[in-house]
Structure 1
Amino acid sequence: MDVTTLPVYGMVPMSDAAVIELVPALIVEDMPATRSYLESLLRDVCGNQADGDTVDIVTVGTLADAHAFLESTPRAFVLVDIGLPDGNGVDLVSWISERYPHTVSVIVSAWGDETTVLAALRAGATGYIFKESDTSEMRAALQSVQRGGAPIDPFVARHILALLSPDPVLPGPRPGGPSDQCPLDQLSSREKEILQLVSKGLSNREIAESTGLSRFTIEGYTKTIYRKLAVNSRTAAVFEAKARGILR
């Protein structure tokens, strides 16, 4: 796949007439609630809500279980989390690409910087979906895979393109746009602290535990950070902060 053709979310064509089967599927995710959500969403996308049990979807929580299952029961589609108890989901994607080249793998993760996203794509992932996306965005991403697309968040795609350009420069504040109206000192020390924790991939719950603040307080801080940086996601906030020098 030519990563330089990643202009917009869910619209990277793999083939003019590609139709990708999403079942039988394997979901590799260690959090039970997230596994259940992803399974429900995938059943919905597969269009078998009336008789969902007929859709062949298996869920596991570790790389070891994924390896064992795939060796005995190949799948058409695998949805893989990055941070698993016994390793990195990118390694599983690479293994699948080598052993089962006709299996389509997509990463689904709470966080991933441009280096991680590129590593996943180079390992053979067809797309990279963020867990923070709302249900409609997640559904659209999976439907894009069905149509032969490679879903990647547009903000991440823009930064990947910058990294791949001959003279890579991450886009900074846009002259005349709203984001250049937020100088560094408009972020409070607490906001910068929380943004630093966000950049490390911590969830709001984990940040709350780390700082001694409530989860609702952390959510309030993140919304304020989004507004000040003129972004609407954790991923975009970290990329924008790195581009401006707020984060190193």
Structure 2
Amino acid sequence: MFDFSTPLLKPMLVLEDDPVQQLRIFKILQALGYEEKDIFYSQTIDFAVDICCKNPIKFMLVDLNLPDGSGIDFIMNICANGENTAPIMVLSAWNTLDVIYKALNVGATGYILKETDDFELMFAIRTMLKGGAIIDPHIAKKILSKFEKSLIDIPAKPEKIHVNLSQREMEILTCVSNGLSSREIGLELNISKHTVDAHIKNIYQKLEVNSRTKAIYAGKQSGLIS
């Protein structure tokens, strides 16, 4: 037998316009120990804001797709002045990462999909009542997948290059890193543009690159320039 006993945060708000979902949520909350008098229900953002203004709400379950706007706007409104300390769990059918990020960014402390079964939803609510933050496993998997892809897309840091440039080549590479053209480098070092270009070609060969940008990058990686 599972023990679902946990300190309950009362009163709480359920912002959900679907009566079927409201009933489902109530049964789960009832299993956790809530009574009808502990729960405020709202089907609109305006009424939910009014409830929060008149009552010391300690916990919120919020849908995102509501008749008078987005639950994200409600969360943003409630958290705007920084005085709200009540944990906010989003219970939504939306599973796109941009919506999830927005909800979490404006103040939600948990995000669960409506497709989650009752046992998992009960566990998620219990976790938040105990001070935790929770993300639906399917969402977490998508976030991890995107994170792993971003790591793959990051080019591996090349090994440090060990090359020997002449003093003149070092001077020219430094000038190149400062954004000077071959003509400007020639004037700076009192040599011809043709000579500068010849030195740059030698620098490319030694650094195994084929452009000024790559030469600057390789020079910094090897410690030749800062």
TM-score range, shorter chain: 0.5 to 0.7
Aligned pairs for 1:96-175 (under 5 A) are 96-99=78-81, 100-163=83-146, 167=150
3-state SS of 1:36 partner: helix
TM-score by structure 1 length?
0.54
Whether 1:68 aligns to 2:55 is no
Percentage identity across aligned positions?
33
Q: Provide the C-alpha distance between the structure 2 equivalents of 1:149 and 1:82, rounded to a whole number of angstroms.
A: 21
- Judged with a 3 Å threshold, the aligned counterparts in structure 2 of structure 1 residues 20 and 63 are, in CA distance, closer, same or farther, namely farther
Q: Which amino acid aligns with 1:40?
A: K
Check conservation: 1:109, 1:131, Cα contact below 8 A: yes
Shift of 1:57: 0.4
3-state SS of 1:167 partner: helix
- Structure 1 counterpart of 2:38, from 56, 60, 66: 56
Q: Which amino acid aligns with 1:159?
A: K
1:183-209 CA-to-partner distances (Å, cap 9, x unmatched) read: xxxxxxxxxxxxxxxxxxxxxxxxxxx
Whether 1:42 aligns to 2:24 is no
Shift of 1:37: 1.7
**Counterpart residue number, 2:9:** 22
Whether 1:89 aligns to 2:78 is no
Check conservation: 2:95, 2:139, Cα contact below 8 A: no
Shift of 1:21: 4.3
Task: Name which structure has the greater RCO, CA cutoff 8 Å, separation 6+.
Answer: 1
3-state SS of 2:108 partner: coil
- Judged with a 3 Å threshold, the aligned counterparts in structure 2 of structure 1 residues 80 and 20 are, in CA distance, closer, same or farther, namely farther
Q: Provide the C-alpha distance between the structure 2 equivalents of 1:128 and 1:169, rounded to a whole number of angstroms.
A: 27
Shift of 1:20: 7.0
1:203-245 CA-to-partner distances (Å, cap 9, x unmatched) read: xxxxxxxxxxxxxxxxxxxxxxxxxxxxxxxxxxxxxxxxxxx
3-state SS of 2:134 partner: coil
- Judged with a 3 Å threshold, the aligned counterparts in structure 2 of structure 1 residues 113 and 20 are, in CA distance, closer, same or farther, namely farther
Q: Which amino acid aligns with 2:17?
A: D
- Judged with a 3 Å threshold, the aligned counterparts in structure 2 of structure 1 residues 112 and 169 are, in CA distance, closer, same or farther, namely farther
Check conservation: 1:96, 1:103, Cα contact below 8 A: no
3-state SS of 2:89 partner: strand
How many residues of Structure 1 are paired with residues of Structure 2 in the alignment? 147
**Structure 2 residue runs without a partner (length 5+):** 1-5, 154-226
Check conservation: 1:111, 1:130, Cα contact below 8 A: yes
Check conservation: 1:21, 1:77, Cα contact below 8 A: no
Shift of 1:102: 1.0
3-state SS of 2:99 partner: helix
**Counterpart residue number, 1:77:** 59
RMSD: 2.3
**Counterpart residue number, 2:18:** 31
**Counterpart residue number, 1:193:** none
TM-score by structure 2 length?
0.59
**Counterpart residue number, 1:218:** none
